[in-house]
Amino acid sequence: MPLCRLWKLIMTRKDSPAALYIHIPFCVQKCSYCDFYSLEAWDSSCLQSYVDALTGEIRLRCHEWGERCFASIFFGGGTPSLLNTAQIATILDSIYRYYRVHPQAEITIEANPATLGRQKLRGYCYAGVNRISLGVQSFFDDELLLLGRIHSAQDVYKTFDMLRQAGIDNINLDLIYGLPNQSMGRWLANLRKAIELKPEHISAYLLQLEASTPMGQQVQHKELALPDDELLLQMYHQTRNLLQESNYFQYEISNFALTGRTCQHNIFYWKAYDYLGLGVGAVSKLGGIRRLNQAAIEQYIKKVEQHELPPQTLLESMDEHEQLADAIIMGLRMVEGINRQELYHRFGLDPYSRYEKEIDECINRELLLQDGDMLRLTEKGYFLSNEVFYRFLP
Ligand SMILES: C[S@@+](CC[C@H](N)C(=O)[O-])C[C@H]1O[C@@H](n2cnc3c(N)ncnc32)[C@H](O)[C@@H]1O
Ligand code: SF4
Does residue 41 carry a pLDDT above 80? no
pLDDT-derived band at 13, boundaries 50, 70, 90: low
Mean pLDDT on 232-239: 93
Q: How far is the CA of 29 from the centre of ligand 2 (A)?
A: 8
Q: What is the pTM of this model?
A: 0.93
Mutate which of 110, 173, 255 to test ligand 1's pocket (most atoms within 8 Å of Cβ)? 110
Neighbours of 41 (CB within 10 A): 6
Does residue 3 carry a pLDDT above 50? no
Right CATH for 17-269 from 3.20.20.70, 3.20.20.60, 3.40.50.11540, 3.40.250.10: 3.20.20.70
- Residue pair 334/267 in contact by the 8 Å Cβ criterion: yes
pLDDT at 14: 64
Query: Which residue has the CA at smallest separation from atom 8 of ligand 1?
Result: 135
Q: Is 348 left (phi over 0), alpha (psi -120 to 50) or beta?
A: left
Q: How far apart are CA 51 and CA 38, in angstroms?
A: 15
Q: What is the dihedral of CA 104, 342, 290, 76, to 10 degrees?
A: 30
Q: How far is the CA of 179 from the centre of ligand 1 (A)?
A: 13
Mutate which of 26, 30, 109 to test ligand 2's pocket (most atoms within 8 Å of Cβ)? 30
> pLDDT, tens digit, for every residue of 199-214?
999 999 999 999 999 9
Q: How far apart are CA 298 and CA 303, in angstroms?
A: 9
Q: How far apart are CA 214 and CA 31, in angstroms?
A: 9
Does residue 4 carry a pLDDT above 80? no
Range of weakest confidence among 25-29, 65-69, 267-271: 65-69
CB hemisphere CA count around 117 (13 angstroms): 6
Mean pLDDT on 269-289: 96
Please name the residues in contact with 206: beta carbons below 8 A apart, sequence gap of 6 or more. Answer: 176, 177, 178, 232, 235, 236, 254
Q: How far is the CA of 245 from the centre of ligand 2 (A)?
A: 30
Does residue 9 carry a pLDDT above 60? no
Closest listed residue to residue 78, CA positions, set 50, 42, 37: 37
Residues in contact with ligand 1 (CB, 6 Å cut-off) = 33-34, 36, 76-77, 79, 110, 112, 135, 137, 174, 176, 205, 207-208
Of all atoms in ligand 1, which is nearest to the CA of residue 79?
Answer: 6
Of all atoms in ligand 1, which is nearest to the CA of residue 78?
Answer: 6
Mean pLDDT on 169-192: 98
Q: How far is the CA of 135 from the centre of ligand 1 (A)?
A: 7
